[in-house]
Amino acid sequence: MDAYVDGTRHQILWLSRMSKNPMAVAGSLIVVGLCIVAIFAPWLAPYDPQAIDTWHVLEAPSRMHLLGTDALGRDCLSRLIYGARISLLVGIVAVGISTLIGTFLGALAGFYGRWIDTLIMRLVDIMLCFPTIFLIMAVIAFLEPSIWNIMVVIGLTSWMGVARLVRAEFLSLKGRDFVLAARITGASDMRIIFSHILPNAVAPILVTVALGIGSAILTESALSFLGIGVQPPTPSWGNMLTEGKNNLEIAWWLSVFPGMAILITVLGYNLLGEGLRDALDPRMMQD
């Protein structure tokens, strides 16, 4: 009962700290806004994002088309709204994959040590030797460029930071009294890892997840901009930038608005991650 009350008190404390941090509040509002836009895209978009209208090609922002139209007469606002779905999906799925892999391998390395730790950390070092974006591009070159392949590849090539972080947390926690008590009661290694140590290491993992989603969205946008990510006519902020590049001198809105969407979204996740880090800092939780 005391542990439950203490845990509830800590939750209230970090929520209070989050609410008092302007950057964290701003990041939370941006992230929540993105989720709302992505979920309710069919109701928020004024037009079909793939509907071609040759009578309204490259129209500047107006009352009929608030963010203008592209070279095929498609409404840019509608495509921007549906592009939020792609970004949110890529961010969540890719980071989910990388977090699961990194957490599992980092937990094994930190808990068992010795040759298991050496093997996993050498694998991490090898993966870190390759620039992530070039590694992703090399893998995508052998696969069909689709949103699902993009999510899986980003996830499989970005778990190394999580693994290092979780390993460090396990190294500092596995010698604590509550772990020794669990061993004495006969708890299995897997039970100790996932029921005792991992819940105490979840705070830095949450921060990494928030920052990782922003990074994944940026990576997907870069790949789509280069033409090896989400393929047209599916609207993606990255391929919208590619379409705008060809008409930059006469249709500035094709590049400005998708670029602003990427900037604000990545900034929102970064602010949320920083806010979580401050709120979950154990040194601040002592108040």
Instruction: Give the pLDDT of residue 100.
Output: 93
- The pLDDT assigned to 43 comes to 93
pLDDT in the model for residue 119: 92
pLDDT of residue 97: 93
> 67: exposed, middle or buried (C-beta count within 10 Å: 0-12, 13-18, 19+)?
buried
Per-residue pLDDT, 93: 92
pLDDT at site 244? 83
Region for residue 251 given its phi and psi (left: phi exceeds 0; alpha: psi -120 to 50; beta: otherwise)? beta
Domains, the chain: 2-48+72-279 (1.10.3720.10)
Structural Rg of the chain based on CA atoms: 22
Specify whether the CB–CB gap between 173 and 203 falls below 8 A: no
The reported pLDDT for the residue numbered 9 is 53
Q: What is the pLDDT of residue 12?
A: 59
Per-residue pLDDT of the chain (287 residues; tens, 9 = 90+): 333 333 445 555 666 666 777 888 888 899 999 999 999 999 999 898 888 888 888 888 888 888 988 888 899 999 999 999 988 888 889 999 999 999 999 999 988 878 888 999 999 988 888 777 777 777 777 777 778 888 888 888 888 989 999 998 888 888 777 888 878 887 787 888 888 888 888 878 888 888 888 888 888 888 888 878 788 788 888 888 888 887 877 888 888 999 999 999 999 998 888 888 777 665 544 44
